[in-house]
Amino acid sequence: MVNPLLVRALPEHLAERRQAIEVVENIGFFKRLAAIVEADLAALAADKIPPLWRDSPVTIGLAFGWADARQQLPMLSGRLEARVDAVCQRCLEPCVLQIEQSVRLLLVHEQTAGSSDSGFEIWEPDEETVRPFDIVEELLVMSLPMAAMHARAENCGRLAARLATARKNTARPFADLKARIDQTD
């Protein structure tokens, strides 16, 4: 069975067929994305690199269709979810990024670009045909943060312990100021 992500077709053809794609792949399936993750994880000591990071799931749910009643504007909508291992730029330890991306794209060429303001993002294919794999990989790469970090500083391992100690020892001269003002009123 052919993977629908790898089929190259005209956007109009995919929209006409109302092509739906529901698959779960892994990070390693997306070569550009895997290369970015691998380069990031290379900053870690070998024993701290998550051993199965390439096997992290990428859940893809997409559907092609038309954005207009005249069937002139092919669109792609759906959702991407991925779990990506990275290096926290706050503590320089491994962390996991949860990527959740809503997809609402108009697949149009230059001559029709800008013809919609209906909440869709314009996606201008480089060629006449598109391959859903290329769109998905580009969206995943674009959704990676510039600086990966744990969701909360408290999750930053040794740094979290140092932050907790520093917060306890911090002088806070105005901490009870509101209470004293309320007492005098």
Q: What is the pLDDT of residues 167-178, one digit of tens each?
A: 555 666 677 777
pTM of the complete model? 0.78
Inter-CA distances, 85 with 47, 150, 169, Å = 14, 11, 34
34 and 26 in contact (C-beta within 8 Å)?
no
- Within the chain, what is the greatest distance between any pair of CA atoms? 78
Q: How far apart are CA 20 and CA 108, in angstroms?
A: 19
85 and 38 in contact (C-beta within 8 Å)?
no
The pLDDT of residue 170: 60
On the CB side of 135, how many CA atoms lie within 13 Å of its CA? 37
Q: How far apart are CA 140 and CA 106, in angstroms?
A: 17
The pLDDT of residue 56: 96
pLDDT beyond 90 at 157: no
Q: Give 54-108 pLDDT, tens digit per residue.
A: 999 999 999 999 998 999 999 999 999 999 999 999 888 999 999 999 999 999 8
pLDDT beyond 80 at 160: no
Residue type, position 136, single letter: V
